[in-house]
Amino acid sequence: MQHASCWRLVALCSLVLVACAPGSRGDDDGDDDDVVGDGDADTDADDDADGDSDADADSDADADTDADGGPGGVDGGNPYVDPDAGVLGCESEVEDGCGDEEVCDDQLDNDCNGQVDEGCTCENGTSQPCFRGPPGRRNVGGCLDGMQVCHGFEFPEWTECEGGATTEPEVCDGKDNDCNGCVDDIEDCQPQITCPVDDVAPPLQDYVLDASTMYEGTPDSCTWEVDCPLGSACPGPADANDCSTTVYLDVSGDYTVHVTIVGENGEEFECTYIVHVIGNGLRVELSWDGPDSDDVDLHLHRNVDSGWFDDDDCFYANCTETYTGYSIDWGYAETAVEDCPEPPPGSGWNYVARGSCPNPRLDIDDVQGFGPENINLDNPAPFDEFRVMVHYYDGGGGIFGGPADAEATVRVYCGGALKGQFGPAAIETQGAGVGDLWRVVDIVMDAAGQDCDVTLIERNDGFDVRGNGTRNTF
């Protein structure tokens, strides 16, 4: 298989800065239009519903007076203490919301022990957003959700909450790092850099990393680092030391970008932000691990009564341009060429010459690697049904390499949201196309054709992995 990349670059990064200190971006006239807690002589009405007139935010009866410095009377045992509460007249009205017990299925760390929904039951393979910081600070300032997956057959449980962003010490960088509702609430802050919180981009595309969007001067030097989601080959920045470079986003999920900028006067600035990589419609991703770079194939069947490896099955032989050419017709309209991504090198796709990109399509067929392979269907119809299968075609480095074993993982996205992560499933091959078939999940689209229900296929209290002789059985 060789990887095809189907992408559209969507740029949106919305950054709202609340002025909380002199020099931290107020109005031109020196005030900030009476933002509550701005430190000026406010004439606001009672915005926090605590019964005071809010004539001056500094006299707010809700201001924290605890010895621990944390908002809302949090005691010294709370790991999420806000050392900046009440600094420079910006009174945080954000409480941590820590409790004594964990509450299941709310995606929060209720007892503030660093774990989300621990001890809660879940369904194997399902996923959910999660926030690994103090519950009250979820989606405040720079605090963002991560993702966790349910794993296990007999006793399934939630894995650790990965990705996202939680509270950090406040830094003079134009961002609310400690997620207390106040930006740059530290002494003598005059930010020379504006750090983004997050951005959105499509998968299988080059994403621009540009320090000039954060630093107003001419940087002396820059250093980029990118942490990738599970399944990514994580190629890293094209030039990690160039102040304007790119990084290839090969799978969906959250990428964490960190940049160190050395300014004109030798000052060093740092920014960390998240890029949410989201595709349209139905998207299935396959990656695998093994002792060699093997040939493992992704299949998407349109769930009619037939076997595999025919025209009811989108796979390397009929759903790409690299084998015998694209040949299936499932009746879906092709995506307009202006909405098609730029194909990756080696994929065989040329959407410009074709005038569109077909649906469904296999982005790339990776015959000597570890994935990812991706099948995309931009415009599934309401209530469409599909089945996902993985076939271990060849081992020992691929291209008739011989017997081998590997572990495969599949992720399913609908409407840009991760609906489930399944595996790793142990699979084997005898080589030359004679390998295990893992029937992974059944997918049913919703009434709008964007969201979906995903059901794990189980067999003998485990994954449904069967030998190559079952290829004619759905």
E-assigned strands of 290-358?
295-301, 313-314, 335-336, 356-357
Q: Is the pLDDT of residue 468 over 60?
A: yes
Q: What's the pLDDT score for residue 67?
A: 35
Q: What is the pLDDT of residues 235-256, one digit of tens each?
A: 899 999 999 999 999 888 999 9
Max CA pair span of the chain: 79
CA gap 198, 450 in Å, rounded? 24
What mean pLDDT comes out for the span 208-233?
93
Q: Mean pLDDT check: name the lowest of 182-186, 258-262, 381-385.
A: 182-186
Give the tokens for residue 318: 């009929």
Q: What is the pLDDT of residues 264-282, one digit of tens each?
A: 989 999 999 999 999 889 9
CA gap 213, 340 in Å, rounded? 26
Q: What's the pLDDT score for residue 43?
A: 40
What's the burial of 220, exposed, middle or buried (CB within 10 Å: 0-12/13-18/19+)?
middle
What mean pLDDT comes out for the span 398-427?
88
Q: Shortest CA distance to 149 belongs to which of 409, 391, 390?
A: 409
- pLDDT higher for 346 or 409? 409
Cα 112 to its chain centre, rounded Å, is 23
What mean pLDDT comes out for the span 7-25?
34
Q: What's the pLDDT score for residue 203?
A: 86
Q: What's the pLDDT score for residue 87?
A: 52
- Counting every residue written for the chain, the total comes to 474
Q: Is the pLDDT of residue 109 over 50?
A: yes
> From residue 192, how far is each of 31, 59, 212, 258 by CA, in Å?
20, 31, 12, 17
CA gap 57, 34 in Å, rounded? 10
- pLDDT higher for 140 or 371? 140
Question: In sequence order, which residues have a C-beta less than 8 Å from that of residue 146 and are 6 or more positions away?
Answer: 129, 130, 131, 132, 161, 162, 163, 164, 254
For residue 182, name the pLDDT band (cuts at 50, 70, 90): very high
Are 110 and 135 spatial neighbours (Cβ–Cβ below 8 Å)? yes
CA gap 233, 203 in Å, rounded? 13
Q: What's the pLDDT score for residue 401?
A: 66
Q: How much of the chain exceeds pLDDT 70, in percent? A: 78
Only one residue has tokens 């190559």, namely 468
Mean pLDDT, the chain, as a whole number? 82
Sign, CA torsion 106/112/114/115: negative
Q: Is the pLDDT of residue 197 over 70?
A: yes
Are 392 and 366 spatial neighbours (Cβ–Cβ below 8 Å)? no
Q: How much of the chain exceeds pLDDT 90, in percent? A: 60
What mean pLDDT comes out for the span 203-208?
89
Give the tokens for residue 224: 């980029």
Give the helix/strand (H/E) hosting 256. Answer: strand 253-262
CA gap 142, 198 in Å, rounded? 8
> From residue 474, how far is each of 231, 312, 456 by CA, in Å?
27, 11, 15
Are 52 and 229 spatial neighbours (Cβ–Cβ below 8 Å)? no
Q: What's the pLDDT score for residue 366?
A: 75
Give the helix/strand (H/E) hosting 353. Answer: helix 351-354
What mean pLDDT comes out for the span 112-135?
95
Q: Is the pLDDT of residue 221 over 60?
A: yes
CA gap 26, 17 in Å, rounded? 9
Whether cis (ω within 30° of 0) applies to the bond prior to 360 is yes
Q: Mean pLDDT check: name the lowest of 32-46, 221-235, 354-368.
A: 32-46
Domain boundaries, the chain: 282-470
Residue type, 273: Y
What mean pLDDT comes out for the span 299-315?
93
Q: Is the pLDDT of residue 397 over 90?
A: no
Strand partners of residue 390 = 298, 438
Q: What's the pLDDT score for residue 400?
A: 61
Q: Is the pLDDT of residue 9 over 90?
A: no
CA gap 161, 121 in Å, rounded? 15
CA gap 287, 298 in Å, rounded? 9
Q: What is the pLDDT of residues 60-105, one digit of tens each?
A: 334 333 333 333 333 344 444 455 544 555 777 789 999 999 999 9
Q: Is the pLDDT of residue 33 over 80?
A: no
Q: What's the pLDDT score for residue 381?
A: 96
Q: What's the pLDDT score for residue 19?
A: 35
For residue 390, name the pLDDT band (cuts at 50, 70, 90): very high
Are 370 and 293 spatial neighbours (Cβ–Cβ below 8 Å)? yes
What mean pLDDT comes out for the span 126-138?
95
Strand partners of residue 375 = 284, 362
**Strand bridging mode 268-277 / 198-201:** parallel
